Amino acid sequence: MSRDSGFAVADLDTGLLSDPKVLRLVRRARAEEAPDAVPATALLLYVSLVLSSWEAGERLPFDDGLPAFWIDDGINYQTALTNAGLLDAEGRIPEASWESWFGPARDRRDAARTAGREGARRRWHPGANGSPSQPDSNPNARSDRTDRSDQRGRARARSAPRPLGEVLGEMEL
């Protein structure tokens, strides 16, 4: 995975468990008298696929999103998730759903990176593209910032602890 494409943290809707597609998954499992663990397991595998896809920065196929601990129990969860509308026919998160969640996060990251590059350009290349430049009328002139820095340094030097021998030598015993 390229750090540029995926994320270490995914955006998940806090209403996921009451999403109409999740409720459809549960209703269908109950209607077919499937074991109680089937909808919960299917949802776990769906969340695993969502997280794996966010990490990769692309919609992964169902099998590529299975958690490392997964042991196949013979139930076709991909079909159940597809029938509920949580996956498309290819076993991936539907494109529209993916873009509605991953797209804005990708756009925010790209905007932050662009702003960071622009800030670095302005800092390291003053005067470029109309940004303010530092005055260079007197190349030997020190800025206020440099003066303050020097003053702090001198103050620290004055207040630095002196060797004990020096202090004792000045004392009248």
Q: CA neighbours within 13 Å on the CB side: how many for 121?
A: 10
Please answer whether residues 5 and 53 qualify as being in contact, where contact means their C-beta atoms are separated by less than 8 angstroms: no
Strand (E) or helix (H) holding 146: helix 144-159
Residue 37: what pLDDT?
A: 59
Please answer whether residues 90 and 50 qualify as being in contact, where contact means their C-beta atoms are separated by less than 8 angstroms: no
Residue type, 155: A
Model confidence pLDDT, tens digit, residues 47-99: 999 999 999 999 999 999 999 999 999 999 999 999 999 999 999 999 999 99
The answer to whether residue 111 scores a pLDDT higher than 60 is yes
Please answer whether residues 88 and 118 qualify as being in contact, where contact means their C-beta atoms are separated by less than 8 angstroms: no
Q: What are phi and psi of 124, to 5 degrees?
A: -95, -10
Residues 6+ apart with CB under 8 A from 70: 45, 48
Residue 118: what pLDDT?
A: 78
44/50 Cα distance (integer angstroms): 10
Model confidence pLDDT, tens digit, residues 117-167: 877 888 888 765 554 555 445 555 555 555 555 555 555 555 667 676 666
Residue 1: what pLDDT?
A: 40
pTM passes above 0.85: no
- When pLDDT is cut at 50, 70 and 90, the band that residue 171 belongs to is low
Three-state DSSP at 153 gives: helix
Question: What are the sequence ranges of the domains in the chain?
Answer: 1-130
Model confidence pLDDT, tens digit, residues 16-41: 999 999 999 999 888 876 555 589 99
Nearest to 96 by CA among 23, 40, 21: 21
Look-up of token digits 């794996």: 52
State the DSSP string of 97-140: HHHHHHHHHHHHHHHHHHHHHHHHHHHHSTTGGG------S-TT
